[in-house]
Amino acid sequence: MPDLPSNIIDIRAQVEARRQAEEAALPPEEPKDSGGPPTIDGRAVRQCLLNNERGDGVLLARLMCDKIIYVKRTNRWMWWNGVHWEDDKLDLSHACVEDVASIYLREVERITPLINEARDRKKQQDDIATACKNSGDTEGEDAARTAAAKAAYEASRYTDERKAYTRRVDRLRSVRGAKNCLEWSHKIGNDSLAIVGDEIDQQPWLLPCKNGVVDLRTGRLLPGRPGDYLVTAVPVDFPDCQDYLQTGENFGFPPWEKFVSEIHLDEQDVIAFVHRLFGYSITGLTTEHFIATALGDGRNGKGTMFETIKAALGELAWSIQPEMILEQKNPRSSAGPSADMMSLYGRRFVIASETDEGQRISAGRVKRLTGADTVTARSPHDRFEINFRPTHTLFLYTNDIPQGLTKDFALLQRLLFIRYPLRYVDDPEIKAREDPHNAEIYRKKDPGLPGRLLDNLPWVLAWLVRGCLLWQRDGLVPPKRIKADIEQLRLSEDTLGQFIETSCDITNPDDWMYFRDVYSNFRTWFRNNIDDRKDDKYLPSKKKVALSLDKKGFQKNNTGDRIYYGIRVTDLSLLSGG
């Protein structure tokens, strides 16, 4: 390639110096603030243009910081609604690519006057050169032609740059171009729009609502912050209720408090406890390892109460299938997907409802669902398992007592047993005459109550937040009646204790029995009174019965055949084999 004339080299140098001077005259790049995207100067935009599709992604990441994010774990986009993050179900992230195109078009608008000015300058210098030539001014003609060449080079360069911007805009407005821009935006390193996903819903003291985020430590409504990565949110506004939160007065919907009081028989200690329990449940904490069991036949108000709270909490509340906490004949493979466990991610208020009569709760499953241990699970379409910290409180509401609630000591320590004895009927007087022994449990049904409750969900939410504040102040110690109900249930499931009480004499320390005879008689009694299935699936094992006898203080002799002292079967039907 031949060497360029020195005057052309000088022109290029002058043009480059002019370009740098123009860019230096642009306003400096402003620091990012939470009020909007950063101001990006022409130098940065041009650098993104030169970096091709990766540059488009860099530009999108700078423009959309704290507006959209890409979750690597789930391969999905989310967008910031001003309070919390939401799934990008409408592909709003694709629309954001137009912002990159707009930045490039801004540069087109900036460059176009420069092109016109350079062209005008070239024409002016051409005219001067012609005039100098006609007048014989050789020196003036050379200077004018040099200036015209410089202006022509500038116009050509700016024109090429404008074409590059417009071509990039056209590409970004294609499906493929938009897709590539989005993909690069979450693959450019630390400044990308990507998060792993472990950051989501990990703020247990924050409760996102429609109009802001409630700090559950204080009850104050705060603006949402993108960096908290809150996703699962309450679907209602949090009302202006600071007076109520602090004093308990001026509650905006008294029928809710009246309803809660009535279904708990107006027992103030139970009502206060339930209020604190529900308040605790809206945190993402698992410090209180309870399983609250709400028991009572249908139409007693508990379903209306739970459904109203679920409606107030939206996706923060979740209903699981009872099978998740019941014993299963065919346990699921640990290698398979666990959509049921994944559905608990980020939830706070979790309900298992209506187990069938006679079904037995799995102590291991319940302990897993009510503990604080890390959960390992995998969604059906995910390749890898993830670990996450539980954030939910488990409630069981049912008409019948599931068997097995107290057979495990650790499970017994977690059990809260809350009775709902009332029955809401059309005509309480008629029902009372038909059932005089239970006349006091019948109440007049109010068909419009559920609708009125749903119309006042913001105040139900306020009631829950006050319950949370009361829990922080007073803790969660069950009242005497709930403790008594738990003990009654424990006794009802102590089948060996029932056998001894109803069919044995333990008053004479000189009485004795071989353990094999004790167990044989207990098995017959168990089949007659507890479970008549011949497979003895729920019959306590010999080992468990022996351990129970030891715990109850019976002395034994392990020499030869095991003998227990101080016990004698008195039920002749058992001795004869039933």
Task: Report the mean per-residue pLDDT for the chain.
Answer: 88
For residue 534, the model assigns a pLDDT of 65
**Residue 7: pLDDT above 80?**
no
CA proximity to 309, closest of 397, 228, 218, 206: 397
CA 369 to chain centre: 15
Lowest mean per-residue pLDDT among 47-56, 321-330, 480-489, 496-505: 321-330
**Residue 337: pLDDT above 80?**
no
What is the mean predicted confidence (pLDDT) over 371-384?
A: 76
Torsion of CA 456, 457, 461, 462, to 10 degrees: -10
Q: Is residue 48 domain-shared with residue 141, that is, in the same domain? A: yes
Band (pLDDT 50/70/90 cuts) for residue 10 is: low
Q: Which of these three, 131, 162, 195, is where a domain ends?
A: 195
What is the mean predicted confidence (pLDDT) over 121-149?
A: 93
Q: Greater confidence, 22 or 408?
A: 408
Q: Which of these three, 126, 161, 195, is where a domain ends?
A: 195
| CATH code for the domain of 536 | 1.10.10
What is the mean predicted confidence (pLDDT) over 468-495?
A: 86
Q: Is residue 115 domain-shared with residue 173, that is, in the same domain? A: yes
Strongest mean pLDDT among 17-31, 435-449, 554-568: 435-449
In a domain, 478, yes or no: yes
Q: Are 406 and 366 in contact (CB under 8 A)?
A: no
Q: What would the DSSP string read from start to end of 492-543?
A: HH-HHHHHHHHHEE-S-TT-EEEHHHHHHHHHHHHHHHT---TT-TTSPPHH
State how far the Cα of 556 lies from the Cα of 553, in Å rounded to an integer: 9
Q: Is residue 292 domain-shared with residue 422, that is, in the same domain? A: yes
**Residue 36: pLDDT above 60?**
no
Single-letter amino acid, residue 387: N
Q: Is residue 271 domain-shared with residue 358, that is, in the same domain? A: yes
In a domain, 302, yes or no: yes
Q: Is residue 262 domain-shared with residue 274, that is, in the same domain? A: yes
| CATH code for the domain of 420 | 3.40.50
Residue 191 CB partners (closer than 8 Å, separation 6+): 58, 61, 62
**Residue 559: pLDDT above 80?**
no
**Residue 401: pLDDT above 80?**
no
The total number of structural domains that make up the chain: 3
For residue 18, the model assigns a pLDDT of 58
Q: What would the DSSP string read from start to end of 214-274?
A: EETTTTEEE---GGG---S--SSPPPS-HHHHHHS-S-S-HHHHHHHHHHTTT-HHHHHHH
Q: Is residue 99 domain-shared with residue 54, that is, in the same domain? A: yes
In a domain, 236, yes or no: no
**Residue 306: pLDDT above 70?**
yes
For residue 49, the model assigns a pLDDT of 96
Provide the greatest CA pair distance for the chain. Answer: 144
Q: Is residue 501 domain-shared with residue 558, that is, in the same domain? A: yes
Q: Is residue 521 domain-shared with residue 483, that is, in the same domain? A: no
Over residues 217-252, the pLDDT tens digits come to 999 999 999 999 999 999 999 999 999 999 999 999
In angstroms, the Cα distances linking 351 to 177, 328, 383 are 46, 19, 28
Q: Is residue 420 domain-shared with residue 569, that is, in the same domain? A: no
For residue 576, the model assigns a pLDDT of 55
Q: Is residue 37 domain-shared with residue 127, that is, in the same domain? A: yes
**Residue 33: pLDDT above 80?**
no
Pairing status of strand 393-398 against strand 349-353: parallel
Q: Give the pTM.
A: 0.79
**Residue 24: pLDDT above 60?**
no
Helix (H) or strand (E) holding 142: helix 138-172
Q: Is residue 518 domain-shared with residue 410, that is, in the same domain? A: no
Domain that holds residue 259: 242-326+340-377+385-491
Q: Which of these three, 140, 162, 195, is where a domain ends?
A: 195
In a domain, 207, yes or no: no
**Residue 177: pLDDT above 90?**
yes
In a domain, 202, yes or no: no
In a domain, 122, yes or no: yes
What is the mean predicted confidence (pLDDT) over 363-378?
A: 80
**Residue 25: pLDDT above 60?**
no
State how far the Cα of 420 lies from the Cα of 442, in Å rounded to an integer: 12
State how far the Cα of 433 lies from the Cα of 524, in Å rounded to an integer: 41
**Residue 16: pLDDT above 70?**
no
What is the mean predicted confidence (pLDDT) over 535-554?
A: 87
Lowest mean per-residue pLDDT among 158-162, 179-183, 319-323, 573-577: 573-577
Residue 178 CB partners (closer than 8 Å, separation 6+): 94, 97, 172
**Could you tell me what percent of the chain has a pLDDT over 90?**
65
Over residues 52-94, the pLDDT tens digits come to 999 999 999 999 999 999 999 899 999 999 999 999 999 999 9
Beta partners for 557?
Answer: 563
Q: Is residue 68 domain-shared with residue 104, that is, in the same domain? A: yes
In a domain, 372, yes or no: yes
Strongest mean pLDDT among 134-143, 212-221, 366-375, 503-512: 212-221
Lowest mean per-residue pLDDT among 36-45, 460-469, 493-502: 36-45
Tokens of 221: 């409504």
Tokens of 545: 């019965």
Cα 172-175-181 angle, rounded to 5 deg: 45
In a domain, 462, yes or no: yes
For residue 532, the model assigns a pLDDT of 65
Over residues 254-305, the pLDDT tens digits come to 999 999 999 999 999 999 999 999 999 999 999 998 888 898 888 999 999 9
CA proximity to 307, closest of 453, 118, 151: 453
Gyration radius (Cα) of the chain, Å:
38
